[in-house]
Chain A
Amino acid sequence: MAERYDTIIIGAGFAGLSAGIRLAQFQKRVLILESHKLPGGLNSYYYRGKGQLYNSGLHTVTNFNAKNRRWGFGLICRNLGIDSGEFRLVPPKHPSALQIPQGELLFGNDPELLRASIAREFSSQVDGFDRFCADLKSPRDPAVLQRAGSRELLGEYFTEPRLMDLLELPVYIYGGYREGQIDAATFSTVFRSIFLEGCGSPPDIKHVLDLLIARFKDLGGELKTRRRVAQIVTDGGRFRGVELADGTVLEADACLSSAGLAETGQLAGQVWGDSGDLSVFETVVAMDRPLDELGVDRTLLMVSLEPEFHWRAPEGRQEYFHLTLAASDNYAFSERPTAHHLKIGCFQKGSLWLGLDEETYRQEKLRLEEKMLAELTARFPGLLDEPVTHHESLTPKTVVDYTSHLNGGIYGGCVKSFDGGTPVGGLFVIGNDQAGIGIMGALTSGVIVANYKVVLAGN
């Protein structure tokens, strides 16, 4: 007979782990299945050289100052039963910047920094900015916002297109799940999470993953790694169980999948959503000295290289319209970090990187990596004075391998299931495709769907 669980969760990323912790507080048998050796999905870690730890994914963690129990970091801690201090998040020690060819704005964990920057560059727009921020704190009907685009929303507060470009830039870079416009609800959430509540960083991603896994196991949850789900078994439109790649069948009353809406549909033999094609190429550079001693005086830097901001990925693998930079050690850690990693990335159509022969893939990767390194040193020439101890690149193909998102979509597919529901009863999506963007978004998605769709719905 097949082994039976209350709930099976597909994927031990941040959404899967948070859903697992929440459910294990109410249910006796909760199982998380992870196809890889390590947990985390996109936000994971690996070792290079002499045991040097590298984080994939992680740039920053948003909602740093959100301690309200209904929202953001506060909501997560309360639902997971983990004290906020245990995450060991610390704030940035340098400002971050938004750049377009016409100029830049600075921002940081004090919203006043961005406001002052707007007042300097766009003095007529400050009132609109104040109104926008005030309205974000008392969110409007999400159903209405989900139908509108971000530009429509900004148009209610601002008249300067270049300012709207600058304000859209970071939100799209950290949550632009499809080309063109994203919905105003996701836009508002990400904007509030970055600008009003600020960012922070844990010492590394492994610390947070270990913390979540320990909590899950303490509550009696079961985590199985290297178990790939090959098929979702349904019966009369209702979830019944999963079949693993090795043929094992596991049954459960409910299933939460972080594989993506389209990808979960595929596992269930159905066609849902749209997996999208917006992925990323990112190069990480390791230095021997703190990055700010080498002139890297920004924590995050987001750049639109076009004079007008459009959210799109180029048709060629060697082109790019946007850059995103993240300095891993520019946070106020109490102990001096031993790793000094600088990431620079650009957005790519994932499909362009799939199905290449090995040599073409290697050449294309090397060429784009050279360009990323040149962009990096053009902005921070001090880096040229020091030897690079290690560098390597992640491509859309890497994202496909580690997340199961078909074209390496880093923010999930083009279609979101805002309530987590799917056409199969008892089967729900969590994470990116339930609009859970970023690490905090994924954690939130896990607990919300667990609460409302499983615990309260009696699944």
Chain B
Amino acid sequence: MTKDEIKQIVLDIIAEIAPDEDLSDVKPEVRLRDQLDLDSMDFLDIVMELRKQHGIEVPEEDYPKLASLDSCADYLEPKFAALKA
């Protein structure tokens, strides 16, 4: 799975969690919390949807790695690759 596809997966999850947010112009390098109205509970929900929809486990100590779309893609890429293997 490419990094762009992973970013889209994260955006799709955010769209489900926070349907009121405008996601058309999310900057991948900027922290999600700095450009969207997301709180720590929303990040918990992102973690949960990653597990539910894609079988990806994100341990609690790695939550900070989900800060921006770029960091999500960097962090999740090997995890998605491991799933296929």
Interface residues of A (CB under 8 A from B): 25-26, 69-70, 78-79, 451-452, 455-456, 458
Do B40 and A451 have beta carbons less than 8 Å apart? yes
Do B60 and A455 have beta carbons less than 8 Å apart? yes
Task: Look across to chain B and name the residue whose beta carbon is closest to the beta carbon of A457.
Answer: B60
Closest 9 CB pairs of A and B: A458-B60, A451-B41, A25-B48, A456-B40, A455-B44, A451-B44, A458-B61, A455-B60, A456-B44
Docked complex Cα distance between A455 and B44 (Å): 8
Describe B's contact surface by its main secondary structure: helix
> Could you tell me the distance in whole angstroms from the C-beta of A218 to the nearest C-beta in chain B?
13
Do B18 and A69 have beta carbons less than 8 Å apart? yes
Docked complex Cα distance between A70 and B40 (Å): 11
Do B60 and A78 have beta carbons less than 8 Å apart? no
Describe A's contact surface by its main secondary structure: loop
Do B45 and A456 have beta carbons less than 8 Å apart? no
Listed A/B pairs (21) with beta-carbon separation below 8 Å: A25-B48, A26-B44, A26-B47, A26-B48, A69-B17, A69-B18, A70-B39, A70-B41, A78-B45, A79-B41, A451-B41, A451-B44, A452-B40, A455-B44, A455-B60, A456-B40, A456-B44, A456-B60, A456-B63, A458-B60, A458-B61
Additional pairs, 14, CB under 8 Å, beyond known A26-B44, A78-B17, A451-B41: A25-B48, A26-B47, A26-B48, A70-B39, A70-B41, A79-B41, A451-B40, A452-B40, A455-B44, A456-B40, A456-B60, A456-B63, A458-B60, A458-B61
Interface residues of B (CB under 8 A from A): 17-18, 39-41, 44-45, 47-48, 60-61, 63
> Could you tell me the distance in whole angstroms from the C-beta of A122 to the nearest C-beta in chain B?
37
A25 partner residues in chain B, CB cutoff 8 A = 48
A78 partner residues in chain B, CB cutoff 8 A = 17, 45
B61 partner residues in chain A, CB cutoff 8 A = 458
A70 partner residues in chain B, CB cutoff 8 A = 39, 41
B48 partner residues in chain A, CB cutoff 8 A = 25-26
Docked complex Cα distance between A452 and B18 (Å): 20
B39 partner residues in chain A, CB cutoff 8 A = 70
Docked complex Cα distance between A78 and B45 (Å): 9
A26 partner residues in chain B, CB cutoff 8 A = 44, 47-48
Task: Look across to chain A and name the residue whose beta carbon is closest to the beta carbon of B45.
Answer: A78
